[in-house]
């Protein structure tokens, strides 16, 4: 992948050049309030580098899942405001993406200016399955700029107009965020320091089938929590009550357990579970053995003995990758397991281990618990992208940058 420095040389400098940047600004909002600005902060270095070099920086991004038409709740306006605060320079927000207002705003730019265009997914062409429709939208985006910089790691696993098609139309480079993310993921997949422990949680085991299959060949230990653990417990023949269960994946998980045993990879499952009679912060709850979940209750967190077990199996790890919370951490009675795992990673970071938080809910959790990004070796901005990279899949938004 070409660097910004190589792109600069190719263009004979960036001053006076309009550079379209695909950032990942898909942040959680409560109304118009950003509840976690981690992705916005991660986008700042590349935008700053380009603007300081005299480029006219046009930032594109999506937010949420609008259906190809404007929806006020998904406007990037509050994100653009926050970006300006973090950049320490004015940011112009344009209420459309490729129309006359956008074109006029780009024409009015001076060297070093930053413009943020409205949500890409307000346009059906961004995510269209039709190559022609996507290419048409990409052509209109590319028409705004002289060059393209891909800096949204969270979307590089998607062959979307602003990620893939635009890169085929303009001189392009990978931004600093994408390059650093790829280097971290490459190390996890190809050259981890050992012992290498992977912690997986979250709701569905089906979301992580590929990465489990891949990591069983690389990791030394696999610690499993979250909703997905109940499919593992069921595969061992245990009752899981009304817990989240993917019955159609039980045989697959049983096969993973057998493969891990054959390869000498340790699978660490909870020994106790916090169960409740409803999915509610106010629900009656208690701790039971992992093989003794009542038929009328659901598991919502790993238990205190499991917390100790997980910490012990992380205590000597030199590389840790974590993706997915250990329970329903948004509700305080079921947040302890996720909090303890986060604290264990912080401790390992202090001891010099490489610790990687794999984006998504895990990243949201560690910030909700008050941890700084610097408490970990790396917090990924792309949960899905990081998992697909670790699976060994070809990511279209990366492969196109190599052309």
Residue 119 assigned ligand-binding role: no
**Per the residue annotation, which of 204, 254, 318, 393 is the catalytic one?**
204
Is 208 one of the annotated binding-site residues? Answer: yes
- Catalytic annotation present for 31: no
Please give the Cα distance from 272 to 267 (Å, whole number).
15
Q: Tokens 């048409």 correspond to what residue?
A: 136
Q: Is 63 annotated as a binding residue?
A: yes
Active-site annotation holds for 393: no
Question: Is residue 362 a known part of a binding site?
Answer: yes
Residue 121 marked in a binding site: yes
CB 51 within 8 A of CB 113: yes
359 marked among binding-site residues = yes
Residues 6+ apart with CB under 8 A from 8: 14, 53
Q: What is the DSSP string of 179-215?
A: HHHHHHHHHHHH---SSEEEEE-SS-SGGGHHHHHHH
Is 336 annotated for ligand binding? Answer: no
Q: And the tokens for 86?
A: 């973090």
DSSP secondary structure code for residue 153 in this structure: G
Q: Is 26 annotated as a binding residue?
A: yes
17 annotated ligand-binding residue: no
Task: Say which of 22, 39, 56, 367 is annotated catalytic.
Answer: 39
Q: How far apart are CA 61 and CA 22, in angstroms?
A: 6
Report the alpha-carbon distance of residue 135 to residue 133 in Å, rounded. Answer: 5
Q: Is 158 labelled as part of a ligand binding site?
A: yes
DSSP string, 208-257: GHHHHHHHTTT-SEEEE-STTHHHHHHHTT---TTS---GGGHHHHHHHH
Helix (H) or strand (E) holding 93: strand 91-94
Residue 193 to residue 204: CA distance in whole angstroms: 28
> Does 264 show up as a binding residue in the annotation?
no
Q: Is 31 known as a binding-site position?
A: no
Active site residue 139: no
Distance CA 184, CA 249 (A): 30
- Is 172 annotated as belonging to a binding site? no
Is residue 378 a known part of a binding site?
Answer: no
The SS3 assignment for 52 reads: helix
- 39 is known as an active-site residue: yes
Helices 38-52 and 77-87 meet at what angle, rounded to 10?
60
Find the catalytic residue in 241, 324, 360, 382: 360
| Residue 323 annotated in ligand binding | no
Sign of CA dihedral 319, 374, 163, 32: positive
Bind-site residues for ATP:
208, 299, 330, 359-362
Bind-site residues for substrate:
24-26, 39, 62-65, 121, 158
Query: Which residue numbers are catalytic?
Result: 39, 204, 360, 384
Bind-site residues:
24-26, 39, 62-65, 121, 158, 208, 299, 330, 359-362
Bind-site residues for (2R)-3-phosphoglycerate:
39, 121, 158
């Amino acid at each position: 992948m070409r660097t910004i420095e190589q792109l600069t040389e190719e263009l004979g400098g960036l001053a006076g050049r309009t550079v379209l940047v695909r950032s990942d600004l898909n942040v959680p909002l409560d109304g118009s309030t950003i509840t976690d600005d981690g992705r916005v902060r991660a986008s700042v270095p590349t935008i700053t580098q380009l603007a300081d070099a005299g480029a006219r920086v046009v930032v594109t991004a999506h937010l949420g899942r609008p259906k190809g038409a404007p929806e006020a709740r998904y406007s990037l306006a509050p994100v653009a405001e926050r970006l300006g605060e973090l950049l320490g320079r004015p940011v112009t927000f344009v209420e459309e993406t490729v129309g006359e207002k956008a074109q006029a705003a780009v024409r009015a730019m001076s060297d070093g200016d930053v413009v943020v265009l409205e949500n890409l997914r307000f346009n059906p062409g961004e995510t269209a399955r039709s190559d022609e429709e996507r290419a048409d939208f990409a052509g209109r985006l590319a028409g705004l700029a002289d060059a393209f910089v891909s800096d949204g790691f969270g979307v590089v696993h998607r062959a979307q107009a602003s990620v893939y098609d635009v890169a085929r139309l303009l001189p392009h480079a990978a931004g600093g965020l994408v390059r650093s993310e790829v280097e971290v993921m490459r190390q996890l997949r190809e050259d981890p320091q050992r012992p290498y422990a992977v912690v997986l949680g979250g709701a569905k085991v089906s979301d992580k089938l590929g990465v489990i299959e891949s990591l069983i060949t690389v990791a030394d230990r696999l610690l499993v929590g979250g909703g997905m653990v109940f499919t593992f417990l069921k595969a061992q023949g245990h009752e899981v009550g009304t817990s989240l269960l993917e019955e159609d994946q039980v045989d697959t998980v049983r096969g993973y357990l057998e493969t891990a045993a054959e390869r000498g990879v340790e699978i660490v499952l909870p020994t106790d579970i916090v169960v409740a009679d409803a999915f509610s912060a106010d629900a009656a709850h208690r701790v039971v053995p992992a093989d003794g979940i009542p038929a009328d209750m659901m598991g919502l967190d790993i238990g205190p003995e499991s917390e100790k077990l997980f910490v012990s199996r992380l205590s000597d790890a030199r590389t840790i990758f974590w993706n997915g919370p250990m329970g329903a951490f948004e509700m305080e009675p079921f947040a302890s397991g996720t909090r303890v795992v986060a604290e264990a990673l912080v401790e390992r970071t202090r001891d010099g281990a490489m610790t990687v938080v794999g984006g998504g809910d895990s990243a949201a959790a560690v910030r909700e618990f008050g941890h700084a990004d610097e408490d970990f070796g790396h917090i990924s901005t792309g949960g899905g992208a990081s998992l697909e990279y670790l699976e060994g899949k070809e990511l279209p938004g990366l492969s196109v940058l190599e052309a």
